[in-house]
């Protein structure tokens, strides 16, 4: 559901907005869910870090003008990316329940297999209604990257981090994704990059640092 919702949102929202709104809201949801269902401790600095991250998101949405924030209405793409963020937050929480003796590769194989089975009816419907994609180097390269890079390698590393750090703390590092995504969106997609994006990223990065500081007694 997570990847599917992200790809749908991409039809209605910019890559920069998707990166900042989606990856900044998902960690906050993950921390809350981890506290409720896994009883993970939330320190005062982590709460402050979350609040700082939220401020960065609000700055982006308002474009530096409080009137824009008051009049802000979510677009279709924004709702889709928030739905994706919520499903990923659920994943971050439930992955801690993975059987300890299960190999990470086997674990991902089961997840991808079940995901493929669930998506198959929707794929066949779309194939019948809109047709398939063109088989060319560009499309095959994109599919290869999404399947190998953004799925297998990404989730293997992410799951390892969750085991080591906990779901709540690991999720906060997801806020680093907008930094890379915004830069790539400018370089690859020629999207507009303004001082608002720069300041938003600085604020979000500050929030991550605060949330991960451990005070010694």
DSSP 9-60: HTTTS-HHHHHHHHHHHHHHHHHHHHHHHH-----HHHHHHHHHHHHHHHHH
Residue 94 and residue 101 in contact, taking contact as beta carbons nearer than 8 Å: no
pLDDT at 16: 65
* Mean pLDDT computed over every residue of the chain: 82
Task: For residues 93 and 33, give the distance between their C-alpha atoms in angstroms, rounded to a whole number.
Answer: 7
Residue 172 and residue 208 in contact, taking contact as beta carbons nearer than 8 Å: yes
pLDDT at 38: 77
Does 24 or 31 have the greater pLDDT score?
31
167-207 pLDDT, tens digit each: 777 777 776 776 677 778 778 888 777 788 788 878 878 88
138-150 pLDDT, tens digit each: 999 988 998 898 8
Instruction: Examine the pLDDT at 217 and tell me if it is beyond 50.
Output: no
pTM across the whole model? 0.72
pLDDT at 144: 92
Using DSSP's 3-state secondary structure scheme, residue 143 falls into helix
Using DSSP's 3-state secondary structure scheme, residue 98 falls into coil
């Amino acid at each position: 559901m997570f990847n599917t919702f992200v790809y749908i949102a991409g039809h209605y929202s910019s890559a920069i907005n998707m990166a900042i709104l989606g990856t900044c809201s998902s960690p906050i949801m993950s921390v809350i869910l981890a506290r409720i269902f896994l009883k993970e401790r939330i320190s005062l600095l982590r709460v402050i870090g979350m609040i700082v991250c939220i401020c960065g998101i609000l700055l982006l949405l308002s474009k530096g003008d409080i009137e824009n924030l008051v009049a802000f209405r979510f677009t279709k793409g924004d709702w889709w990316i928030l739905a994706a963020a919520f499903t990923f937050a659920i994943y971050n929480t439930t992955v801690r329940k993975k059987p300890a003796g299960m190999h990470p590769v086997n674990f991902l194989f089961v997840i991808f297999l079940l995901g493929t089975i669930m998506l198959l009816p929707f794929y066949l419907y779309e194939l019948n209604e809109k047709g398939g994609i063109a088989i060319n180097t560009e499309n095959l390269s994109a599919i290869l990257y999404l399947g190998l890079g953004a799925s297998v390698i990404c989730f293997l590393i992410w799951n390892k981090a969750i085991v080591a750090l906990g779901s709540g703390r690991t999720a906060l590092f997801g806020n680093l994704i907008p930094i890379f995504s915004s830069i790539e969106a400018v370089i690859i997609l020629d999207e507009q990059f303004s001082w608002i994006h720069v300041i938003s990223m600085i604020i979000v990065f500050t929030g991550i640092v605060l949330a991960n500081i451990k005070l010694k007694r």
